[in-house]
Amino acid sequence: MKISRIMIATSAMALGTMLAWGASPAVSTSATTTIQGRQQRTPAESAKAMVDRIDKAVTLTDDQKAKIEPIYEKAYTDAAAAREAQDMDKYREIMTQATKDAQAVCTPDQVAKWPTMSRGRRGGGGGGLI
């Protein structure tokens, strides 16, 4: 009997929470969304940030920036679809290819200085701009 009351109370609270969450209005008015408490950038914003990061490490020309940014914008768009489908192998493949395509625009000296992604806070390894 006691367990039944607890189960009913818990179910009622869960239902109330779900109804309140579903009725809440969308807060974000920009293309940027929030997922799991983290603000997500648009593919264009992510591409711009990546080009800025690469430029800081290897000093890109304006022509190189103009060629690399669309490479990463397309990659981030395609990678988002792969992530939605929970296909992480496809996601890695897309980002690895984008890095190769971007490096093809650069000189060998620039490629030698190419930055690597550090995942220290997540506990993952480095390697490439994946």
3-state secondary structure of 9: helix
Per-residue model confidence as pLDDT tens digits over 70-82: 999 999 999 989 9
Burial 66-77, CB ≥16 within 10 A → b, else e? ebbbebbbebbe
Structure tokens at 39: 């603000």
pTM metric for this prediction:
0.61
Of the candidates 125, 127, 124, the one whose C-alpha atom is nearest the C-alpha of residue 114 is 127
Per-residue model confidence as pLDDT tens digits over 21-31: 555 555 444 45
Residues comprising the chain, all counted: 130
